[in-house]
Amino acid sequence: MTSMKALVQLMKELEDQLTVCMRCGMCQAVCPLFAETGREADVARGKLALLEGLMQNMLENPKGVYERLNRCLLCGSCEANCPSGVNVLGIFMKARAILTGYIGLSLAKRAILRGMLAHPQIFDRVTEWASKYQGLFTKPVDELLGTSCARIVSPLIADRHFNPLAPVPFHRVRPSLDTNPGSSGIKVAFFVGCLIDKIFPRTGEAVIEVLQHHGVGIFMPERQACCGIPAISSGDTKTFNQLVHHNLKRFDAHEFDYLVTACATCTATIKKVWPLMVQDYPEEVKAKITKIAENTLDISQFLVLNIGLEKVSFATDDNKIAVSYHDPCHLKKSLGVAVEPRALIQANPCYRFKEMSESDSCCGMGGAFNLHNYEISASIGRRKRDNIVASECSVVATGCPACMIQISDMLSQSGDRIKIRHPIEIYEELIIRP
Ligand code: SF4
Ligand code: SF4
């Protein structure tokens, strides 16, 4: 449990922010969860109303409040469209921290977050071991998408088609890197993120390849930790603080101009959640976090704004690959990044870009939301899949590994023959073209 002093401090911060909501209900129109359930309790306005009497509700029914608050994708659609500028995600994160501080973590979450995620070396060992033996419980199901499904009935996996752990994680191939700036005169730190490291190492390779091609110096410290989003979205401030401190030590040791990631969720977490949740840190640590957050960029944003994309025009045949793009919520709604990933894709003349309908609607993943509410998550995901299929693309690109997992699941289950790529991989193809 969190100390009473820390809880009261968080409660005070929350009270100040809650007064901004004027109950207009405009968040209803954009909430993907409300579109599924039609329940006022699921939309931002309903949750904010619940939080107004948090102290009272917490004493009467803490688990009930916690469950209601957790029925949320943390997609930020409400915040991005709120006319009053309510910091909805900040409020929800703080409220989850208060509730978890009061009722404690479940045993399963304690084991995963505090026993594993908080210790990068243990996390690496466990996932490498799981990668070796995953074939005993799972089997490949779609070669094009690289998905697997459960071999035997499993309540955890259920009907999911998922991207398995990579045979060799990114950090084994590239444990660390420290190169000087080349022609660009710029040096970046590369924050890899758990999903790219353990499931999509190819994306990490593409980042390195492209940065080197553009003469960008790279600092990539070994033993990077998770950005902390699974911990803080479960209200586990202890693990979150541990992870932030671990990463600060790794990255602070070096001078770099920008910190880049190829994961929309990592970028949004470092840029927006780190500064938000560290109010009681010592001033010098807060200053370091502010500096890192200000200089954190999505890889597409970094390349477009600071480097300039490769301009090539070579003859291509008529069989250009039709590609569409899904806007990850953490990139478009949280950070306003939408033009740059499209620019990366469109830079490659072998592709023909086709915008899909509702490209910025949530894919339904929502991290732990998918684990606890798979039916609703999949229903939102199927709408996304239908829009992808309707665009008649043969490749769909997106800049968030979590979205890649959710979209893979939906396409694999329906048997649609559409590949998923990260925009940096499409851009990399241009660079390594023979
Ligand atoms: S969160 Fe924003 S959009 Fe939703 S009811 Fe409050 S003021 Fe209106
Ligand atoms: S974050 Fe997304 S799912 Fe949660 S209340 Fe806001 S719009 Fe709805």
Is the shortest distance between the CB of 173 and ligand 1 below 6 Å?
A: no
Q: Which domains does the chain have, with CATH numbers?
A: 4-103 (1.10.1060.10), 309-431 (3.40.50)
Interval between CA 224 and ligand 2 midpoint (Å): 30
To test the ligand 1 pocket, which listed residue (17, 18, 20, 26) has its Cβ within 8 A of the most ligand atoms?
A: 26
H/E stretch holding 401: helix 401-414
- pLDDT score at 53: 78
Q: What is the CA 278 to chain-centroid distance, rounded?
A: 20
Strand order in the sheet with 351-353: 351-353, 321-326, 395-398, 419-421
* Residues of the chain with confidence (pLDDT) below 70: 1-4, 55, 253, 314-317, 434
Q: pTM here?
A: 0.94
Answer yes or no: are the C-beta atoms of 340 and 304 closer than 8 Å. Answer: yes
Report pLDDT for 14: 79
String of DSSP letters for 135-178: GGTEEEEETTTTEEEESS--TTTTT--BPPPPSS-HHHH---EE
Pocket test for ligand 1, best of 20, 34, 45, 51 (most atoms within 8 A of CB): 45
pLDDT the model gives residue 1: 53
Distance 78 CA to ligand 1 centre (A): 7
Determine the pLDDT at residue 253. Answer: 64
- Give yes or no for residue 21 CB within 6 A of ligand 1: yes
Dist. CA 369 → ligand 1 center (Å): 22
Interatomic CA distance for residues 60 and 99, integer angstroms: 12
Catalogue the E-assigned strands of 284-334: 296-298, 321-326
Residue whose CA is closest, atom 4 of ligand 2?
A: 72
Closest to 270 in 3D by CA, of 259, 285, 282, 255: 259
C-alpha separations of 407 from 59, 93, 203, 255, 365 in Å = 40, 26, 16, 37, 9
The predicted structure's pLDDT at residue 148 = 96
| DSSP structure string for 50-74 | HHHTHHHHHHH-HHHHHHHHHS---
Closest ligand (CA of 73): 2
- What pLDDT digit, counting tens, does each position of 197-230 carry? 999 999 999 999 999 999 999 999 999 999 999 9
Q: How far apart are CA 423 and CA 217, in angstroms?
A: 21
Sign of CA dihedral 391, 298, 405, 66: negative
The stretches of 306-372 forming alpha helices (DSSP H) are: 329-335, 339-346, 368-372
Report the pLDDT value the prediction gives residue 152, as an integer from 0 to 100: 83
